[in-house]
Chains A and B, each alone.
Chain A
Amino acid sequence: MTDTPVTEMSFEQAMAELEQVLGQLERGDVALDQSITLYERGAALKARCEAKLKEAEEKVAAITLDSDGNPTGTTPADIQ
């Protein structure tokens, strides 16, 4: 297990650890108490993954540049 709190994990971290938790659970060689702890952690990781998957937000913006080519801000880009 990593030290990163589940709520701060990237999708990839949470995914990798979920796989790991599952592997341990499926091997069935952990104590019952620990398997319940693992299950709970797995559930938290799954929730984290779901949250990251829900963040499927499309937002497209173009950077505006000044006359010297330096960025000044963004403008919503309407590209179909």
Chain B
Amino acid sequence: MDMIDDPSEAGNSPEFSVTELSGAIKRVIEGEFGHVRIRGEVGRVSRPRSGHVYLDLKDDRSVISGVMWKGTASRLQTQPEEGMEVIATGRITTFGGQSKYQIVIEDIKPAGMGALMALLEKRKGMLQAEGLFDESRKRPLPYLPDIIGVVTSPSGAVIRDILHRLRDRFPRKVLIWPVAVQGERCAADVARAIAGFNAMTPGGALPRPDLLIVARGGGSVEDLWGFNEEIVARAAAASEIPLISAVGHETDTTLIDYVSDRRAPTPTAAAELAVPVRHELLAWLGGQGARMSQALSTTLVRRRQRLSDLGRALPRPEVLVEGPRQRLDVLGDRLGPALIAGVQRRKVKLSEASGSLRPATLRRTVQTARRDLDRLSARLAPALARAVAAKSERFTARTARFDPTALTAQTATARRDLDRLIAGITRAGQGQTQTLRRKIDAMDRLRETLSYKATLARGYAVVRGDGDVVTTKAGAKKAATLEIEFADGKLLVGGRASGAAPKKTAPKAPDQGSLF
């Protein structure tokens, strides 16, 4: 220190580069502390994915960083946890790049039994606080599991003890999941085995057990330590299959015992918890069969007894029918006489009726009827005559009332009326006729004045050919005969002449002739 403080002496000191100094320090420290044992409390622990473990070791005043390489860490029986009192073995190295030093830990162990127990207590407290130890979480074991999964070492006394005891009590199917039961692999193996059994399918190729036994024989606390690991306790708590823990001897209690559904003091005891005793069950079953038969026969006997009791209380059937039978007998006895009496009674009535049935009676009746007939027929002819006479009388009376004079008078009156009416009609008719005649005459005179005949008188003539008036010369030529009418008569031309043919008609004749 004095050398550095005193500049006057600087010239005599060799100069280091930083790296040289770091290297020098490294050599000194690693030479001096190549193998150390250090006791302290584990501080912060970090486990990056590289697998190396970084942790601090500390006491009340100082801290030293530590590193544990992957290979070392995986070999550890007890993994360091924060707060754990440990004794670490290793060497100190420096890290010149950062001016730091650290301890490379080659082994780390809890610092004695007390430290381990303290760790265990701490874990227990934590899991208990989470409720993993609660009685309510514990499931009942199946009475008779079909398949039992055993997590243990495949070699050794434990599995043999379990199998022997199972065989004695009730041989079952057993699946063994081989695990390391101590050492660094133990906890991971056991946790994986418990989870693995739970992952199986019931009835699958690897059939899922319906009961698990996690077993290990006795050993030191360190030997059993794997069963105190948190991952084991959590795997057991998560198991859906009921789980029996049987780790160590009766006095050893590990963390898994608190979370398992049942704790067995020994592996043998676990087998006893797992299955009932078969021959006891067979005996019990036989007993049940006997009880059942007994119960049924008791039932039958009791009912039979009851039936016969009731039967005795029943009256005899003969008694029930005695009365009616007696009545039947009595009535039966009366049946014959009653029939005879009935017939007798009818016979009497018949003879009574037939007594009055004689021919004289009939004859008398006939005679009476005949007399009535005679009497009535005697009255028949006079009655007819009387009836005719009465009707004739009525006829005559009616005819008398029929008088022809009245009719004649009526006819005469009617004739007079008729004559008078005829005379009236005749008069009226004559009057009317005269009037009409005068009108006709007047009109005829008018007609005469208007007639062509008057024209004839003035010198005109009418020519007719074959009866029809001819007005043309052609018509006149055609006619076989011509008739010329003059005022004083007709003249036939070409035949007999009835008069001289007027000249004026000549031009007409050819015209008339053309008509033919």
**Chain A residues near B (Cβ < 8 Å):** 10-12, 15, 18-19, 21-22, 25-26, 28, 32, 35-36, 39, 42-43, 46, 49-50, 52-53, 55-63, 65, 69-71, 73-74, 77, 79-80
The answer for the CA separation of A25 and B297 in the assembled complex, in Å, is 10
The answer for the CA separation of A22 and B290 in the assembled complex, in Å, is 10
- Contacts A10-B144, A25-B292, A56-B171 given; indicate if A63 touches B206 (C-beta within 8 A): yes
Q: Which residues of A contact B295 (CB under 8 A)?
A: 22, 25-26, 28, 35, 39
Q: Which residues of A contact B171 (CB under 8 A)?
A: 56-58
Decide if A35 touches B178 in the complex (CB within 8 Å): no
**Quick one: closest B residue to A46, CB to CB?**
B289
Instruction: From B173, B282, B289, B303, give the contact of A53 (CB < 8 A).
Output: B282
Q: Which residues of B contact A63 (CB under 8 A)?
A: 175-178, 196, 206
Q: Which residues of A contact B173 (CB under 8 A)?
A: 57-61
**Quick one: closest B residue to A30, CB to CB?**
B299
**Quick one: closest B residue to A32, CB to CB?**
B303
Decide if B160 touches A65 in the complex (CB within 8 Å): no
* Given A43-B292, A53-B285: 13 more A-B contacts, CB < 8 Å: A12-B143, A12-B144, A22-B291, A22-B295, A35-B295, A39-B292, A39-B295, A56-B278, A58-B166, A60-B176, A61-B174, A79-B163, A80-B160
The answer for the CA separation of A32 and B289 in the assembled complex, in Å, is 19
The answer for the CA separation of A61 and B292 in the assembled complex, in Å, is 40
Tell me the count of chain B residues lying within 8 A, CB to CB, of chain A: 41
Closest Cβ–Cβ distance, residue B147 to chain A (whole Å): 9
B332-356 with Cβ < 8 A to chain A: none
Number of residue pairs spanning A and B whose beta carbons lie under 8 angstroms apart: 112
Q: Give a binary string over B188-204; 1 marks a CB under 8 Å from any A CB, 0 the rest.
A: 11001000100010000
Decide if B296 touches A39 in the complex (CB within 8 Å): yes
Decide if B176 touches A22 in the complex (CB within 8 Å): no
The answer for the CA separation of A77 and B153 in the assembled complex, in Å, is 12
The 3 closest A-B pairs by CB, nearest first: A58-B171, A12-B143, A25-B295
Closest Cβ–Cβ distance, residue A63 to chain B (whole Å): 5
Closest Cβ–Cβ distance, residue A67 to chain B (whole Å): 13
